[in-house]
Chain A
């Protein structure tokens, strides 16, 4: 798909818009609808199925006066009907490059548009090319925005997109946004522009309040999915009772996720809503829901497959507090359907045994907001023999992880988050836990592990025991921390990961690392698409290794590493193949970044300074964000962003 790097001139982007190249990358959040696979053929209410009509509607080129379509239109009709079956964006992009008629046919039939960088292409251009979109997926800010590295007001507003999509796609059904700023007024445009609207998914977005949610609830009469995942929700002066705004009749709701909307709401309205939503299968509530209330909800929705339990704590001072066995009865009733459990936002561990009845059927369990000890976790996890996805806090310690390893032999994804996310925190898990997991969970595909102590031996063990790893993200929280036993850098551990895990597409490194680690990554990491680097490497050679070796690299984010202009320039031949490159707190200069901008016209090079008033050191660059784009420099950049 990517143009081969040429040494003489900059490669010319192809017809396929760059932002649409990717297949689904794994999201950083609990399973949401961020994948590019839409609903199969796009069939649905409103007569979406398309049947080939071989008879031309207008007069053809001679023949029977229009009774039979001319040959090229036949081909195009057939082609369109065949292309309906292609759903993956990558396949569609490939098809569109074959020739002009394939390009046109594909453009007519694409139902879902995935844009990995909202600034890579202008809304007008997307609208012009694709005639029949039903779903749009947009990603905005660079991922490091999650860690406060992108100043407020940087951009990624959804307004230009909503303004363009509205008139162009009146039949639009689904919008998924990640890391974008969405205001209440922009949300209000949705029911107005799209009468058939079905699914709204906002992940890590900001800018909206309950007022916007109320407009969605009230206006989108066919709403099936409202998923709000890890959005930044600000305390409002006045909270709107948005739950009451859903239609009075039976709704088509299948999924309602609002655990991040952490304001009080009208519980009775929710209970009534759940009762009149027979299709509801996914419900994740916020921490203002007590156990007693949870039981009421579960009684109303007996077929739930995904449940977010809210606080998992009894209402303070309530006279009718539920007992553990009462709660267990509720879960027993749900045992047949429930496969995914999350929430536990303020858990009272005494109630945990209530979930035993569902544990055996669970494939996904999220304890990452529950501060549990190993003693509290082990009895629960011992029941979870079919677990595939497990998110947990490091409070469970290495012993807790050992129990996971012993029971969950089918585990595919593990995330261990730190309770105390500071550099000099205790750190309750270590290489011991990692080694145990690697020995017990051989089918592991994805791991995110925060710790304070790690050894190369444990990482190497994981590389050997878990060859199916696709995502390996290890965060040793203390900066530049070496192997805790040998005192050596962590080069060999990460080297083993890239060498042995042949399916690896995403890697985050940490700990003390020299250029050697990056030499390994470049040599063996041939499938790596996303690489995150922090406080690592000795010299620009590290970057050079990565650019030259990782031929499939799409996203590179680097912070606080001793890389300068030389390292940046070593990537020149590769930037057009990538979605973006982020670099902050390294040793870049404005001149170096300017050189890149000058030589690569289809690249947008944004630089930012931490302290704009800083008189000294005018030439240094604090933050660099460069990305390929067909839209040219954006016009909405704030003043702290300098586009070179």
Chain B
């Protein structure tokens, strides 16, 4: 779960907009990106329904929602009580087990390279809590995210190829030319800044990368991209 305070880690676009002088409350003139099916709104707006399609857009929105005057939990996806419907008896069994397991995992981490996804600990985990090498990859327009193991790649080229292969099914839908160069790969580093992939040596990059985001180049260039 992302930390609630995420003002800084919007994309370049939102940062520029945030500093724009204008009348009205920050965040009020943002347009919700078009979705094919709109999820039903909940009554008071206190519980936000998750926008399952535009994941990255939802994350963007969440950052802007944090500025909203109306009281709303300023997280990308508010956890809802009792969902998914798993009995607390069952959930509590795994929280206890996961706590002991994550200790054991941290020890065995270097020794074995396992394919297992480590069970997430009960405590709200920052993205790097589970063994440190798996990072989420999101792509604008894709309905769900992927996860990759940064240890699998020795350089930027391998990484880029892997990502292209992973997300090829989505790029074909919108545009006629599913050109890889149409997309830019960005990442979120330890400070929460959105950076373009490729500037620093790969080892340094893989150590500081917390999340990957594939965005359309048009959005990456800032002004004039609306």
Q: Give a binary string over A456-487; 1 marks a CB under 8 Å from any B CB, 0 the rest.
A: 00000000000000000001011111101001
Considering the chains assembled together, what is the distance between the CA atoms of A587 and B120 in angstroms?
35
The answer to whether A481 touches B52, judged by C-beta atoms less than 8 angstroms apart, is: yes
Contact present for B97 and A149 (CB under 8 Å): no
Residues in B with CB closer than 8 Å to A560 are 42, 47, 49, 80, 83
Whether B120 lies near A453 (C-beta < 8 A) is no
Q: Are B85 and A482 in contact (CB under 8 A)?
A: no
Chain B interface: which of A4-12, A329-337, A422-430?
A: A422-430
Q: How large is the interface on A (under 10, 10 to 19, 20 to 34, 35 or more residues)?
A: 35 or more
Contact B37 A419 (CB under 8 A): no
Contacts of A453 in B (CB 8 A): 144
Partner of A482, one of B43, B79, B143, B147: B143
Q: Are A148 and B88 in contact (CB under 8 A)?
A: yes
Nearest A residue (CB) for B41: A562
B91 to A, closest residue via Cβ: A421
Instruction: Tell me the smallest distance from the CB of B34 to a CB of chain A, in Å.
Output: 13
Partner of B52, one of A346, A426, A450, A512: A512
- B contacts with A: majority SS: loop
| Residues of A125-171 whose CB lies within 8 A of B | 144, 146-149
B19 within 8 A of A: no
- Report if A232 contacts B (CB, 8 A): yes
Size band of the interface chain B makes with A? 35 or more
B50 at the interface (CB under 8 A from A): yes
> Chain B: which residue is nearest A260 at the CB level?
B89
A248 within 8 A of B: no
Known: A425-B120, A479-B80, A480-B52. A452 touches B144 (CB 8 A): yes
A232–B89 touching, CB < 8 Å: yes
- In the complex, what's the smallest C-beta–C-beta distance from B211 to chain A, in angstroms? 13
Q: Are A422 and B84 in contact (CB under 8 A)?
A: yes
Find out whether the CB atom of A426 lies under 8 angstroms from the CB atom of B50: no
Query: Contacts of B147 on A, CB cut-off 8 Å?
Result: 426
Task: State which of A41-49, A105-113, A533-541 sits at the interface with chain B.
Answer: A533-541
Tell me whether chain A's interface is mostly helix, strand or loop, or mixed. loop
Alpha-carbon separation in the docked complex, A617 to B71 (Å): 15
Bound complex: CA A426 to CA B88 (Å): 20
Q: Which residue in chain B gives the minimum CB-CB distance to A537?
A: B40
Query: How long is the Cα–Cα vector from A335 to B87 in the complex, in angstroms?
Result: 32
Q: Are B84 and A477 closer than 8 Å at their CB atoms? A: yes
Chain A neighbourhood of B23, CB < 8 A: none
Q: If A480-B49, A487-B143, A585-B47 touch, does A421 touch B86 (CB 8 Å cutoff)? A: yes
The answer to whether B157 has its CB under 8 Å from any CB of chain A is: no
With A148-B81, A148-B82, A422-B79 given, is the CB distance from A482 to B52 under 8 Å? yes
Q: Which residues of A contact B80 (CB under 8 A)?
A: 423, 479, 560
A537 to B36, CA, bound (A): 15
Task: Encode B28-61 as 1/0 by CB contact (under 8 A) with A.
Answer: 0000000011011111100101101100000000
Q: Is A326 an interface residue (CB 8 A)?
A: no
Complex: A100 Cα to B102 Cα, angstroms: 66
Q: How near does chain B come to A515, taking the closest CB pair, in angstroms?
A: 11
The answer to whether A489 and B49 have CB atoms under 8 Å apart is no
Contact (A418, B84) CB under 8 Å given A371-B97, A426-B147, A428-B117: yes
Nearest A residue to B85 via CB reads A147
**Distance in angstroms between the alpha carbons of A559 and B80 in the assembled complex:** 11
User: Shortest 5 CB-CB distances between A and B: which pairs?
Assistant: A147-B82, A562-B40, A421-B86, A477-B84, A480-B39
Task: Provide a sorted-by-A list of 29 A–B residue pairs whose CB atoms are within 8 angstroms.
Answer: A28-B87, A146-B88, A147-B86, A149-B82, A204-B87, A204-B89, A346-B97, A368-B90, A371-B94, A371-B119, A421-B94, A422-B84, A423-B79, A423-B83, A450-B86, A453-B144, A477-B84, A478-B144, A480-B39, A482-B37, A482-B143, A487-B143, A512-B39, A538-B40, A559-B82, A560-B42, A560-B80, A560-B83, A617-B44
Task: Apart from A371-B119, A423-B50, list 11 A-B contacts with CB within 8 A.
Answer: A147-B81, A147-B87, A148-B88, A420-B119, A421-B84, A421-B86, A428-B117, A480-B39, A480-B49, A512-B39, A617-B44
Interface residues, chain B, with chain A CB atoms under 8 Å away? 1, 36-37, 39-44, 47, 49-50, 52-53, 77, 79-91, 93-94, 97, 101, 115-117, 119-120, 143-144, 147
